[in-house]
Amino acid sequence: FDTTNREYYRPVYHHTPLYGWMNDANGLVYKDGEYHLYFQYNPYGSKWGNMHWGHSVSKDLIHWEHLAPAIARDTLGHIFSGSSVVDHNNSAGYGKDALIAFYTSASDEHGQIQCMAYSTDNGRTYTKYEGNPILTPFDGLKDFRDPKVFWYEPAQKWYMIVSADKNMRFYNSTDLKHWEYLSQFGEGYGVQPNQFECPDFIQLPVDGDKNHMKWVMIVNVNPGCPFGGSATEYFVGDFDGKEFKCDNDKSVSKWLDFGKDHYATVCFSNTGDRTIAVPWMSNWQYANATPTRQYRSANALPRELSLYTKDGEIYMAANAVKETQGLRKGTTELNNIDLKDEYTVNPITTGPEGACELEMDITPGKADTVGFALCNDKGEKVDIYLDMKAGRVVMDRTQSGITDLTPYGEMTVHDKETDDHRKTLSVNYVNDFALGTWAPLSLCNGKSYHLDIFVDKCSIEIFVDGGRIAMTNLVFPTAPYNALRFYTRGGEAQVENLKVHQLSL
**Contact set with ligand FRU (CB under 6 A):** 23-24, 40, 51, 80-81, 104, 145-146, 197-198, 264
How many CB atoms neighbour CB 155 within 10 A? 12
Catalytic (active site) residue 74: no
Indicate the helix (H) or strand (E) that contains 235.
Answer: strand 231-239
Active-site residue (options: 24, 200, 257, 383): 24
What is the closest distance, in whole angstroms, from the C-beta atom of residue 210 to ligand FRU in the complex?
33
Among residues 115, 177, 183, the alpha carbon closest in space to that of 147 is found at: 115
Q: Alpha helix locations (H) across 322-479?
A: 430-433
* 27/351 with CB nearer ligand FRU: 27
CA distance 59 to 10: 22
CB of 112 to ligand FRU, least distance (A): 8
For residue 228, the minimal CB distance to ligand FRU (Å) is 15
| Closest distance to ligand FRU from the beta carbon of 64 (Å) | 20
* Terminal-to-terminal C-alpha distance of the chain: 24
Radius of gyration of the chain (CA): 22
Which residues touch 264 (CB under 8 Å, ≥6 apart)? Answer: 23, 24, 25, 40, 81, 197, 198, 220, 230, 232, 279, 280
Distance, CA of 346 to CA of 111 (rounded, Å): 56
CA dihedral 11, 17, 22, 27 (to 10 degrees): -110
Q: Tell whether the torsion through CA atoms of 352, 355, 357 and 358 is positive or negative.
A: positive
SS3 182: strand
User: For residues 385 and 369, is the Cβ–Cβ distance under 8 A?
Assistant: yes
Nearest approach, Cβ of residue 476 and ligand FRU (Å): 21
Task: Tell me the C-alpha distance between 469 and 391, whole Å.
Answer: 13
Distance CA 381, CA 388 (A): 21
Which are the catalytic amino acids? 24
